[in-house]
Amino acid sequence: MANDNPQGEPIPTRESAEEFTNLLTANHGRIFGAIYSLVLNRADAEDLYQQTALVLWKKFDQFELGSDFGSWALKVARLTVYNFIRTKGRGRVFFSETLLETILESQEAQAPQEILARRDALQKCLQKLTPVDAKLVSRCYDGQSKIKEVAADEGRSINALYLTLHRIRKTLFRCIEHRHKMELE
């Protein structure tokens, strides 16, 4: 467990840091996915994730080891997002409060095992992409490329690139759904 320093913040020890990092790493997809689905904006989601992670760390001494870290993290994420809406204004999030609550409920109801199973299915579905599509996914999601750059490099318009990207996403999504369904059967 973390020890408090004179400012009231925990001092990281190797043990507490390791516990925390294990839990955060194991749940980061679930937490980030939940935040992202609420704000649907990359940069905001990244900032909110980071704020959430910091709050989780500061409050980590209140977390009961063995309980559901992901569920606890989603509660913190909810507060962080609502605080963000309050300070930045509703213009930054286009869903109504009713829908935000509904999305959060849906996220909380999602079993962590299902997220992992879907991630495994994604890996397999990615292997079924054609080399051209796989390369495009890699470029679009590598975190380095701006869409304009990718479109220019690929010699096509931004709209055409979005069309292709949507087609690939849909193919992957249907593939994941299919695999997941087969596994459940």
- Of 147-176, which residues contact another protein (CB under 8 A)? 147-148, 153-157, 159-160, 162-167, 169-174, 176
CA-nearest of 100, 32, 27, 108 to 63 is 27
Is 65 a binding residue for another protein by CB under 8 A? The answer is no
Q: Which of 94, 97, 111, 124 binds another protein (CB under 8 A)?
A: 94
Selected from 8, 43, 69, 183, the binder of another protein by CB under 8 A is: 43
CA separation (Å) from 49 to 85, 107, 124, 173?
A: 14, 15, 28, 24
Q: Which tokens belong to 45?
A: 């989601």
**For residues 161 and 154, is the Cβ–Cβ distance under 8 A?**
yes
Residue with tokens 């930045």, as numbered in its chain: 88
The answer to whether 25 contacts another protein (rule: CB under 8 A) is yes
Both tokens of 59, joined, read 């409050």
- Choosing from 96, 111, 124, 183, the residue that interacts with another protein (CB under 8 A) is 96
Nearer to another protein, 66 or 143 (CB): 143
Q: Cα separation of 112 and 30, whole Å? A: 7
59 touches another protein by CB under 8 A: no
Rounded distance, CA 58 to CA 101, Å?
Answer: 25
Count interface residues toward another protein (CB under 8 A): 86
List Cα–Cα distances, 165 to 17, 36, 100, 132, 144, in angstroms: 38, 19, 26, 12, 17
Least distance in angstroms from the C-beta of 140 to another protein: 5
CB of 67 vs another protein, minimal distance in Å: 20
The residue range among 62-70, 78-86, 128-136 that interacts with another protein, by the rule CB under 8 A, is 128-136
Of 37, 55, 76, 112, the one binding another protein by CB under 8 A: 37
Examine residue 92 and tell whether it contacts another protein (CB under 8 A).
no
When the beta carbons of 63 and 145 are compared against another protein, the nearer one is 145
By CB under 8 A, tell whether 144 contacts another protein. yes
**Other Cβ atoms within 10 Å of 33 Cβ, number:** 15
